[in-house]
Amino acid sequence: MDVLVVGAGPTGLALAAQLRAFGARFRIVDRAPGPVRESRALAVQPRTLEALAGFGVTDDLVARGSPALRLRLHLPRREVRLPLFDTGLAGTAYPFLLFLSQAETEHVLGAHLRARGVPVERGTALAGLRRRGPYADCLLRGADGREETLRARYVAGCDGAHSAVRDLAGIGFEGRAYPQTFLLADLEVDGLEPGAVHTYLSGAGVLFFFPLGAPAGWRILAMRPPGAPDAEVTLPLLQRIADRYTAGRARLRDPVWTTAFRIHDRGAARYRAGPCFLAGDAAHIHSPAGAQGMNTGIQDALNLGWKLALVCRGAAPEELLETYEAERAPVGRAVRRLTDLAFTFATGRGPAARFARTRLAPLLAPLVPRTAAVRRPVFRRVAELAVHYRRGPLATTGPRPPARGPRAGDRLPDLPRGLQARTAAPAWHLLLAGPPHRWPDARLAPVLDGRTDLIAVHRLGDRGPWPDTAHGLVRPDGYLGYVAGGADLAGLGAYADRWILPAEEMD
């Protein structure tokens, strides 16, 4: 067995989809008897939609969800309407935040796996793990108590905040819990303009209404007011909170899911220990501000899956696996910083946070629609389109790099439109920009020798992402590994020799 995937939340399902696409031998198990029914994460970011498009599931996700086009910010004494994601999202086929419940996202990913003959083994928990040389002997326990030991070359811990893989591998999970308790419900709301996110800010804190669609029309998220009993979350309590913020305009009814929870901000000390890897909530948890949690987990998975699969197939050196933590741990830390900042602004009880909410926000918010230069980088960051691995070990800039266009380590933008779809097949993709006569087969031969089934070649003519003759190698997860100007492929050959093992060197 190449890989045991522990956990079939969004992270584990995405990882399984990629392992399947790259031909790894793996199993995926989940302790829970059935799929999650609660909505939980409710927004899919543009980068996640792009990344999942390679599996052919994005159209289904988009059809099931609703793109939110605007934010209505209800401030003390004024209201501001902000377009959501209206700028700075050129170069993507999905320039919107898709509101869709996590249960639906998991359903779509699960159906994709089923259609490809990959069963999710539910009611099966990882109960023990022992290192045996380079392998892991994993003890699996079924709901009926039956046990099985499975030897896996690698174990992917996609088993959430209380990860058993993390504990069994001895990896620490440092951080803190925020003092506030949050109340959440999926329900129907009368009196709100549909299709918009409604955010109410006051000195007391913040109240959100998110358009959901299924399993209910809306999600309400609020801080538990000081002095409110710790008992269950009731409709009257939520209505009292809503009344305080909306002056009675929003009428709540028909809750289908209510919960109260504390929020933690924690990160794994390492993303790997021997054969064990961590991804998703097992590696980082933080506030839901900015809808980053599930999305970051899916993108961890899509950074890891192809690396595991290609190493197991003998098509990449073991060293490739070291690049997973090097690339994804900084992203996890950046997401924790961003969400902590947003969370502190929205909920802090200190004078600075209250001043920011009640005085600064009303002054600055009306200016925001007019300041595309400010909104652009913020939207790109929240959309996770700004994530790059320029400083990672897989990014190499060759001679005479193009003055404009994507650089080594950048995500390949969908420019011109359709370029991402063209490079979605599970392989490395060699982009050759400039006149076709610059790219005769003989010139490519040394790079492709023994690697023709691993590298797809695209002669783009003048419809490439760079203005002049240039070439780049796109990794299987859609980020550029190598970029150089001109048509001399010597540097690219050295890059391929390092990271892509020709067939004759395979096991």
Judged by CB, which is closer to ligand FAD: 9, or 402?
Answer: 9
Residue 40 within binding range of ligand FAD, rule CB under 6 A: yes
Judged by CB, which is closer to ligand FAD: 159, or 410?
Answer: 159
Q: Return the residue of 267, 293, 405, 413 that touches ligand FAD, per CB under 6 A.
A: 293
Residue 10 within binding range of ligand FAD, rule CB under 6 A: yes
Residue 261 within binding range of ligand FAD, rule CB under 6 A: yes
Q: Return the residue of 79, 121, 259, 506 that touches ligand FAD, per CB under 6 A.
A: 259
Residue 276 within binding range of ligand FAD, rule CB under 6 A: no
Tell me the closest approach of the beta carbon of residue 29 to ligand FAD, in angstroms. Answer: 5
Tell me the closest approach of the beta carbon of residue 455 to ligand FAD, in angstroms. Answer: 31
Judged by CB, which is closer to ligand FAD: 26, or 482?
Answer: 26
| Neighbour order of strands in the sheet with 66-68 | 43-44, 97-99, 66-68
Tell me the two tokens of residue 469: 């003759």
Q: Return the residue of 3, 11, 97, 444 that touches ligand FAD, per CB under 6 A.
A: 11
Q: x/- contact string, 305-344, with ligand FAD (CB under 6 A)? A: ----------------------------------------
Residue 297 within binding range of ligand FAD, rule CB under 6 A: yes
For 21, 325, 501, the CA distances from 277, given in Å and listed in that order, are: 19, 9, 23
Residue 281 within binding range of ligand FAD, rule CB under 6 A: yes
For 331, the 3-state DSSP assignment is: helix
Phi-psi region of 385 (alpha: psi -120 to 50; beta: other; left: phi over 0): alpha
Tell me the closest approach of the beta carbon of residue 187 to ligand FAD, in angstroms. Answer: 14
Tell me the closest approach of the beta carbon of residue 166 to ligand FAD, in angstroms. Answer: 10
Tell me the closest approach of the beta carbon of residue 461 to ligand FAD, in angstroms. Answer: 40
Residue 49 within binding range of ligand FAD, rule CB under 6 A: no
Residue 41 within binding range of ligand FAD, rule CB under 6 A: yes
Tell me the closest approach of the beta carbon of residue 262 to ligand FAD, in angstroms. Answer: 10
CB 306 within 8 A of CB 497: no
CB 185 within 8 A of CB 71: no
3-state secondary structure 144-191: CCCEEEEEECEEEECCCCCCHHHHHCCCCEEEEEEEEEEEEEEEEEEC
Using CA of residue 434, residue 438, residue 439, residue 445, what is the dihedral sign? negative
Tell me the closest approach of the beta carbon of residue 124 to ligand FAD, in angstroms. Answer: 7
Residue 72: what residue type? R
Stretch that binds ligand FAD, among 89-97, 247-255, 280-288, 468-476 (CB under 6 A): 280-288
Residue 267 within binding range of ligand FAD, rule CB under 6 A: no
Rounded Cα gap, residues 193 and 211, in angstroms: 10
Residue 426 within binding range of ligand FAD, rule CB under 6 A: no
Rounded Cα gap, residues 41 and 268, in angstroms: 21
For 125, the 3-state DSSP assignment is: strand
Residue of 407, 403, 406, 424 whose CA lies nearest to 415: 406
Q: Residues in the chain, how many? A: 507
Residue 292 within binding range of ligand FAD, rule CB under 6 A: yes
Specify which residues 429 forms β-bridges with: 456, 474
Residue 384 within binding range of ligand FAD, rule CB under 6 A: no
Residue with token string 């790894």: 24
Using CA of residue 106, residue 112, residue 115, residue 121, what is the dihedral sign? negative
Rounded Cα gap, residues 67 and 73, in angstroms: 18
Residue 8 within binding range of ligand FAD, rule CB under 6 A: yes
Rounded Cα gap, residues 151 and 149, in angstroms: 7
Residue 164 within binding range of ligand FAD, rule CB under 6 A: yes
Tell me the closest approach of the beta carbon of residue 406 to ligand FAD, in angstroms. Answer: 27
Residue 159 within binding range of ligand FAD, rule CB under 6 A: yes
Tell me the closest approach of the beta carbon of residue 490 to ligand FAD, in angstroms. Answer: 42
Tell me the closest approach of the beta carbon of residue 450 to ligand FAD, in angstroms. Answer: 37
Q: Return the residue of 28, 42, 53, 460 that touches ligand FAD, per CB under 6 A.
A: 42
Rounded Cα gap, residues 186 and 217, in angstroms: 7
Q: Which residues bind ligand FAD (CB under 6 A)?
A: 6-12, 29-32, 40-43, 102, 125-126, 158-160, 164, 184, 259, 261, 280-281, 288, 291-295, 297
